[in-house]
Amino acid sequence: MSATAIAYPNIALIKYWGKRDEQLSLPATGSLSLTLDIAPTRTTVTLAPEADEDVATWRGRPMLDRELARIRSFLELVRGLAGSRTPAVVDTGNEIPTGAGLASSASGFAALAAAASTAYGLELSRRDLSRLARRGSGSAARSVFGGLVEWYAGDDATSYAEPLPAQGLNLALVVAVLDPGRKAVGSREAMRRTAATSPFYGAWVQSVPSELTQMRTAITRADFTAVGELAESNALRMHATMLGAVPPVRYWTGGTVAALDLVAQLREDGIEAYATIDAGPNVKVLCRPQDAAAVADRFAAAFAGLDLLISGSGPGVRVEEAR
Ligand code: PMV
């Protein structure tokens, strides 16, 4: 059996930062994101009964060490569910830089969950697929669905994502790739350190539920301004908790701060734009689709040689082929 699946990254508007249970990948709080329509991951899983162990390649290049170990332990989970001991060959590829806060682990594990569960003959509901993807990388639970998505905190059975109705709210995201390099501290380690040492972490966990409530209301009302303000504030709060860790986790560079200044300037100039930042230096700008080109132009003018990606709202994971 072989199956190929495609999944898109998502960017959280209310972030997930910190686990309640590492083993089960249960988040300390809920989170809410927008699935993008750019830079998908496509993954093929082929069962290999004659092989001794799992093999994984990244665009044809063998994956090694921690990357491979993470894929193998995920496949172990899938085999556990399927009652199989057959190894698999995984080939995966992505068009955006990885490890720079562009959420490639979200699209990666959503695609792997769909391809692997199909190849091993599991017929999972979307909800169970989201629960499975969560075990690979928390944010992957959200990439199972398209558009605006909420991922619930909870226990193993109840921590899954669901799409939110978002009538009348059209969102675009301009991604300013200030630094395509791999980040110094991975999100897993950075979350762990923040939760263990930052005196601000408790306040973060306490405040997210009400931010989620406010965000849901803003989405229901299709209130773009409220969505943007809440998203920017939530991202700044997440980074504030990290800055309080020992040693501090600081993903921001001078470019990050300059980008935040530019977003504030855009607002003063009458273009409604709001920033969000993940576990890396890059800044993503939330705006209305009709303003995206103007936002990108202003970034291109301010930062020489900057890579810019413009995204709208994208679809959930899809199995393209199963043989
Ligand atoms: O699940 P991970 O390891 O990709 O963690 C994602 C963390 C953030 O991107 C910073 C926030 C989020 O909710 O996506």
Q: From the alpha carbon of 137, which atom of ligand 1 is closest?
A: 1
Q: Contact 238/205 with Cβ under 8 angstroms?
A: no
Q: Contact 311/37 with Cβ under 8 angstroms?
A: yes
Please state, rounded to an integer, the average pLDDT across all residues of the chain: 95
Section 96-118 average pLDDT = 80
Whole-number Å distance between alpha carbons of 308 and 295: 10
pLDDT tens sequence across 23-73 = 999 999 999 999 999 999 999 999 999 999 999 999 889 999 999 999 999
Protein residue with its CA nearest to atom 6 in ligand 1 = 139
Phi and psi at 156, nearest 5°, equal -55, -35
Phi and psi at 7, nearest 5°, equal -140, 150
Whole-number Å distance between alpha carbons of 293 and 299: 10
Q: Is the peptide bond before 27 cis (omega within 30 degrees of 0)?
A: no
Check pocket membership of 25 for ligand 1, CB cut-off 6 A.
no
DSSP-assigned beta bridge partners for residue 45: 3, 90
Surface-to-core class of residue 269, CB atoms within 10 Å of its CB (0-12 exposed, 13-18 middle, 19+ buried): exposed
* pLDDT at position 183: 72
Surface-to-core class of residue 104, CB atoms within 10 Å of its CB (0-12 exposed, 13-18 middle, 19+ buried): buried
Q: From the alpha carbon of 140, which atom of ligand 1 is closest?
A: 1
Q: What's the 11 CA to ligand 1 centre distance in angstroms?
A: 8
pLDDT tens sequence across 234-281 = 999 999 999 999 999 999 999 999 999 999 999 999 999 999 999 999
Check pocket membership of 194 for ligand 1, CB cut-off 6 A.
no
Check pocket membership of 279 for ligand 1, CB cut-off 6 A.
yes
Q: What's the 277 CA to ligand 1 centre distance in angstroms?
A: 10
121 SS3 class: coil
pLDDT tens sequence across 299-314 = 999 999 898 999 999 9
Q: What's the 90 CA to ligand 1 centre distance in angstroms?
A: 23
Check pocket membership of 187 for ligand 1, CB cut-off 6 A.
yes
Whole-number Å distance between alpha carbons of 58 and 143: 20
Whole-number Å distance between alpha carbons of 29 and 265: 32
DSSP-assigned beta bridge partners for residue 62: 57
Surface-to-core class of residue 204, CB atoms within 10 Å of its CB (0-12 exposed, 13-18 middle, 19+ buried): buried
* pLDDT at position 102: 58
* pLDDT at position 188: 93
* pLDDT at position 99: 41
Instruction: With CA atoms as reference, report the closest residue to 238 among 9, 18, 6, 2.
Output: 18
Surface-to-core class of residue 118, CB atoms within 10 Å of its CB (0-12 exposed, 13-18 middle, 19+ buried): buried
Whether the predicted pLDDT of 101 surpasses 80: no
Best mutation site among 13, 14, 16 for ligand 1 pocket (most ligand atoms within 8 Å of CB): 16
Whether the predicted pLDDT of 97 surpasses 90: no
Whole-number Å distance between alpha carbons of 195 and 206: 13
Query: Does an H or E element contain 113, and which?
Result: helix 104-119
Check pocket membership of 251 for ligand 1, CB cut-off 6 A.
no
Check pocket membership of 148 for ligand 1, CB cut-off 6 A.
no
Long-range contacts of 151-154 (CB under 8 A, 24+ apart): 151/16, 151/27, 151/30, 151/31, 151/32, 151/33, 152/30, 153/20, 153/26, 153/27, 153/28, 153/29, 153/30, 154/26
Quickly state the pLDDT bin for 100 (edges 50, 70, 90): very low
Share of the chain above pLDDT 90, in %: 90
Please list, in sequence order, all residues whose beta carbon lies within 8 angstroms of the beta carbon of residue 13, skipping any fewer than 6 positions away.
32, 33, 34, 148, 215, 227, 230, 231, 234, 276, 286
Q: From the alpha carbon of 186, which atom of ligand 1 is closest?
A: 3
Q: What is the pTM of this model?
A: 0.96
Check pocket membership of 31 for ligand 1, CB cut-off 6 A.
yes
Protein residue with its CA nearest to atom 10 in ligand 1 = 278
Section 185-189 average pLDDT = 92
Q: What's the 111 CA to ligand 1 centre distance in angstroms?
A: 16
Q: What's the 281 CA to ligand 1 centre distance in angstroms?
A: 14
* pLDDT at position 117: 98
Q: What's the 227 CA to ligand 1 centre distance in angstroms?
A: 19
Check pocket membership of 239 for ligand 1, CB cut-off 6 A.
no
Please list, in sequence order, all residues whose beta carbon lies within 8 angstroms of the beta carbon of residue 204, skipping any fewer than 6 positions away.
17, 18, 29, 237, 238, 241
Section 98-104 average pLDDT = 52
Q: From the alpha carbon of 106, which atom of ligand 1 is closest?
A: 4
